[in-house]
Structure 1
Amino acid sequence: MTLLSARPSTSIDLFGDAALHDPYPLYAGLRQLGPAVRLEQLGEVWAISRYADVQAALADPGRFSSARVALTDIANDALAGSVLASDGADHARLRRVLSPQLARHAFNGLHGVIRRHADQLVAEVVQRGRFDAVSDLALPLVGQIITYLAGLPGRDRDQLVAWAEGVFSAFGPDTRRTRAAFPLAQTMVDYLATSATRERVRPGSWLAEVYAAADRGEIAEAECIPLASAYLVAGAELTIHAITTLLGLLARTPRQWRSLHRRAHDSAFLGAAVREALRYDAPVQWVCRTVTQDTSVSGVPLSAGSQVLLLYGSANRDDTVWGPTADQFRMRRSGIRRTGTDHLALGHGPHSCAGGHLAHMKITAVLGALARATPTLRLVPSAPPCRQLNNTIRGWVSLPLTTTPAR
């Protein structure tokens, strides 16, 4: 790494295999280098890694636009005008379509359904004693709920999750990993165009409401599939990784799991564990924005047209906010200026996660069911977890765990 007086830069590669396995030491180095650090391998792309600067940029679309949210022209051209790649009135117009379906009160009747589904899946895996947190628990729960809400057949859930992983990796720089993701992303779009038509989706579902908005003239017909795709991708993939990350962390800390087991009926305690896991290891590690005018980030000058990576994963480990234990997973986080409610894992500002409440409901349902069902949760020594290497998201391909039933 090198440090210039006003414009720090580095040769590190945030998208290599080693970085995707464990980016946090690199994030710490970036925070030390400066508020904004140019990533030399990517040209005029800057990493913003400190909490206050990331939060401020997310809240200021006037200076940091979402018009180009990927690191290749191919991906940006495909995303142009979507809810992910729009600002101001256009973004608000697209986001408004599903706002009633994603409001907190809209899920009042769904809470019991999610909890019963989680209880059933947990009972099955605990009875077996050994299970995979990804394929046996998180994917079946989240995939089934999301496909139902979207109005799609439940049998398509596994394919949709695989395609969603491709969509997220397609946001990265021009590498072999990114190029391999493009066909997966296109397959999802093709599937929705042919299998998620007006005639096939469930009445009252998200997709039905998207088409109804087009019929009312609120959005264009061409905006229907991109809008549906954005909510499907985020709703499925991020929650699956949030669940498995949380269970992996608790399996490594038996004392914290025992504490959770004793307080399995305490919804506030469960919620604190979920928020801390999101802070500690965010499912989405970064988002990209484009600088609209010559500006600066805490004194570092940036030119109009530059792109910035707002590093959620780094901001959530900033020790100026989270204290000397920022790199530790602690369900009971106290004695610092901020609490787990302030993590940036679900974004901030106009593009904050629209389905955050639904995601929290699903994660808490799984955690509570498992905490009630078993006093032990451990990794399988003979079958180590397999990390998913994705340009944008952080999670597991497989996470084998063992449990013993509660007495």
Structure 2
Amino acid sequence: MTRPPARPSTSIDLFTDAALNDPYPLHATLRQLGPAVQLEQLGEVWAISRYADVKTTLADPDRFSSARVALNDTANDTILAGTVLASDGTDHARLRRVLSRQLARRALTDLHEVIRQHADRLVAKVVQWGRFDAVSDLAIPFVGHIITHLTGLPARDRDQLVALAEGTFSAFGPDTPRTQAAFPLAQAMFGYLTTSATRENVRPGSWLAEVYAAADRGEIAESECIPLASAYTVAGADTTIHAITTLLGLLARHPRQWQSLHRRAHDTAFLDAAVREALRYDAPVQWFCRTVTQDTSISGVPLTAGSQVLLLYGSANRDHDFWGPTADQFRIRRRGTEQHLALGHGPHSCAGTHLAHMEITAVLGALARATPTLRLVPSAPPCRQLNNLLRGWASLPLTTTAR
């Protein structure tokens, strides 16, 4: 008699305060339990934690749909409806084509020097202070300025947009008090876009003006303009802010690696490698969901149509079977970091990858050129920002010494 395939399950809860503070031990346990592990408290939701399985699933939209990328119906049916993030096939390609005109590498060439100069000015100011908060004094002003400038939204709305984007991502979690508390922020974000990101309000020639121009050309429907605008204001803000501050926090804990960067501050390839390693080591986006479209399996574990898979980017990037025995160590000289999954993979890989990398590298290069030291403040330890989906800091006090 043939034994039915194993269907491992666990009572692990990935959304407690303790789990969000340090998810990686739980990820290691999930990788040991199997390629697909049912999370009992979430019903028919299966955690996919191994690198090869996460990458394969992301590349297969026919079996694993992006129509429902959150863990609750409210987010899927209202917040995400009509967005490029929660679309498949021709609809996804059509919406993404509009974004790509601004976000493709070749389209960003003229922005490189503008972003670098902005980073240099801001870094020079905070280094002169000697002590600053990498979140509120550096990353938020830097990324917020770029996002509002490029989208054509008022600069005065910078902090509001950042806060609302953070809440929007947390609203993607399971039905918990943290998720319920995030719903008003997500609704406020789309309320803001509906009233402020209109044809009449956005700056001519801006990225959001181009979204409306695409509607005029018949490439997208008028009703799709606001959901598409959220790709800039939600996906382009807190993810990059957290990536910058995570990188700086790691380097402040590894002074020898900071010294290496300081000595090679003009080496673009070396800076790029450090950025990729930080994204691998502590991904700012920890997961997204996919919905199983047909009865199928992942590495031998059967899955039924209609169930969800929780793709753990953070776990995949620490998988020892792929990254080797040093997977849990931060090493800016690590080889092969371009294979990280922090920004997704396949059709839904992050549309803003090139812009985000440009922003993070600009800040890192400016800081590496400006100061030989980067340290945490012993009397003011970092404070984690607890978010169902994002991973980053609410506060990260650092000290520097001017050259």
Q: TM-score range by the shorter chain?
A: over 0.9
- Taking only aligned residues, the RMSD between alpha carbons, in angstroms, comes to 0.9
**Equivalent residues in 2 for 1:78-157, closer than 5 Å:** 78=78, 79-157=80-158
Unaligned runs of 5+ in 2: none
User: 1:40 aligned to 2:49?
Assistant: no
Is contact 2:5–2:301 with CA below 8 Å preserved after alignment? no
SS in structure 2 of the partner of residue 259 of structure 1:
helix
Aligned equivalent of 1:12: 12
Shift of 1:142: 0.5
8 Å Cα contact 2:286-2:389 kept in structure 1: yes
Letter in 1 for 2:129: R
Give, in whole Å, the separation in 1 of the partners of 2:121 and 2:84.
Answer: 35
Counterpart in 1 of 2:64?
A: 64
Aligned pair partner of 1:369 in 344, 366, 370 = 366
Partners of 1:84 and 1:280 lie apart in 2 by: 24
Q: Match for residue 351 of structure 2?
A: 354
**Following TM superposition, by how much is the alpha carbon of 1:109 offset from its aligned partner in structure 2, in angstroms?**
1.4
Residues 215-230 of structure 1: pairs in structure 2 closer than 5 A: 215-230=216-231
**AA partner of residue 348 (structure 1):** H
The Cα of 1:319 is off from its aligned counterpart by 0.6
1:103 Cα deviation from its structure 2 partner: 1.2
Q: Which residue of 2 aligns with 1:292?
A: 293
Distance in structure 2 (CA, Å) of the matches to 1:243 and 1:228 = 23
Deviations along 1:362-397, one digit per CA (max 9) or x if unpaired, are 100000000011010000000000000000000000
Q: Across the two proteins, how many residue pairs are aligned to each other?
A: 399
User: Residues 132 and 397 of structure 2 are in contact (CA less than 8 Å); yes or no, is this contact kept in structure 1?
Assistant: yes
Q: Distance in 2 between matches of 1:318 and 1:201?
A: 44
Structure-1-length-normalised TM-score: 0.97
Task: Give the match for residue 379 of structure 1.
Answer: 376
Q: Is this contact kept in 1: 2:296–2:304, CA < 8 A? A: yes
Amino acid at match of 1:173: P
Query: Which amino acid is the alignment partner of residue 350 of structure 1?
Result: P
- Offset, 1:5: 6.3
In structure 2, the residue matched to 1:395 is 392
CA separation in 2, counterparts of 1:113 and 1:45? 44
Superposed, 1:267-286 pairs within 5 Å as 267-286=268-287
Query: 1:174 is matched with which residue?
Result: 175
Partner of 1:30: 30
Q: Deviations over 1:320-365 (max 9, x none)?
A: 111100000000114xxxx100000010000001110010001000
Query: 2:18, 2:381 → 1: CA distance?
Result: 17
Report the secondary structure of 2:234's partner residue.
helix
Q: How does 1:306-345 map to 2 (within 5 A)?
A: 306-334=307-335, 339-345=336-342
Contact 2:20 2:386 (8 Å CA) reproduced:
yes
Using the TM superposition, name which of 92-101 and 377-386 deviates more: 92-101
SS in structure 1 opposite 2:46? Answer: strand
Task: Measure the CA separation in 2 of the matches of 1:154 and 1:110.
Answer: 18
Aligned AA (2:106): H
- 1:253 maps to 254
Corresponding letter in the other structure for 2:200: E
Partner of 2:220, secondary structure, is: coil
User: Aligned partner of 1:332: which letter?
Assistant: R
Secondary structure (helix, strand or coil) at the match of 2:342 reads coil
Work out the CA distance in 1 between the residues paired with 2:371 and 2:378.
19
* CA distance in structure 1 between the aligned counterparts of 2:338 and 2:73, rounded to whole angstroms: 35
Give the match for residue 264 of structure 1.
265
Aligned-residue offset at 1:213: 1.3
Large movers: runs of 4+ above 3 Å: none
CA distance in 2, matches of 1:333, 1:97: 35
List per-residue Cα deviations over 1:249-291 (Å, max 9, x = no partner): 0000011001110000100000000000000000000010000
Deviation at 1:212, TM superposition (A): 1.0
The alpha carbon displacement at 1:51 in A equals: 0.3
- Residue segments in structure 1 that go unaligned for 5+ positions in a row: none
Distance 1:170 1:115 in 2: 33
- State the one-letter code of the partner of 1:347: G
